Structure formats: structure tokens, C-alpha cells
Structure 1
Amino acid sequence: MNAVYIAGRLALSEAAELMDRFGDDAGLEAAARAEQSRDKGNLIRFCHWRQIERVIATLSSDEVRGTVH
């Protein structure tokens, strides 16, 4: 089981916003934003957008993770 860390409400909010705006391409948009941040040398924003990309993948997945009660 792979545990997914979600940093907080901002990560969920931005992931949901990208999903609403870009639909199935939301993960690609987050990846593009991460690349832009990396190219500018902004490591913090790069890591932020990579986190958002993982949150989008988690929210988009039908796979059950963790325990189910």
C-alpha cells in the first residue's frame, strides 16, 4: 500500500481547481507548472506542483487505498 501525503487544504483546493478547469488534463497542467517552476529555479514551487500532481492522481483514481471501514 502506498500512502499518499496531502500537505493541507491548499493542496486539495488547488488540485480541485485544476481538475475543474482542465478535466482529465489536470495532472498534465500541474506537471507543466512544476517544470516551469524548476526552469525558473524555484524549488519550493516545483515541489508544490509535483505534490498537486500526486493529489490529482489520487483523487482521480478509483483504487481503494488504506483501510476500509
Structure 2
Amino acid sequence: MDSPFISGRIALEEASDLLDRFGDDAGLEAAARAESSRDAGNVLRFCHWRQIERVIATLSDEEVRGTVH
């Protein structure tokens, strides 16, 4: 995975909230929300929840990425 793009504070807050509420299943919950948004034809919310899914993966990853100072 390359350097992740995190769109802002809201993405971090929502990812953190899902991690608190769903634990290890937070990524699955974000994916389900993205799929639901896609099925409803809401492309903006679909993209939002896919971004949250990637943020959750980034926050859950224990591998150090980038430069360590």
C-alpha cells in the first residue's frame, strides 16, 4: 500500500467511531455502508464510505509506513 490519503478530520472521526463500535468488523461495516449507498445510487456517499474503509485499514495496520523520525 502506498501512502494513504486521509481526506480530513471527519474521515478519521467516522473511522474511529466504527472501530469503537464494531471492532475488527469495522471495515466490513464501512464496506456494507458503501454498498448500500451504491445500490441507492448515491455515488458521493459510496466514495465516502470506501474512503472510510481505507482509513480503517490504515489505522488497523501495524506496519510503519513512511519516514520514521
Question: TM range, normalised to the smaller chain?
Answer: over 0.9
Residue aligned with 2:67, SS: coil
**Aligned AA (2:6):** I
Unaligned runs of 5+ in 1: none
1:28 maps to 28
1:56 maps to 56
Identity %: 77
**Aligned AA (1:13):** E
Matched, 1:44 2:41: no
TM value normalised by structure 1 = 0.98
The runs of at least 4 aligned residues of structure 1 exceeding 3 Å deviation read none
Matched, 1:18 2:18: yes
How large is the Cα RMSD of the aligned pairs?
0.8
Q: What is the aligned residue count?
A: 69
Unaligned runs of 5+ in 2: none
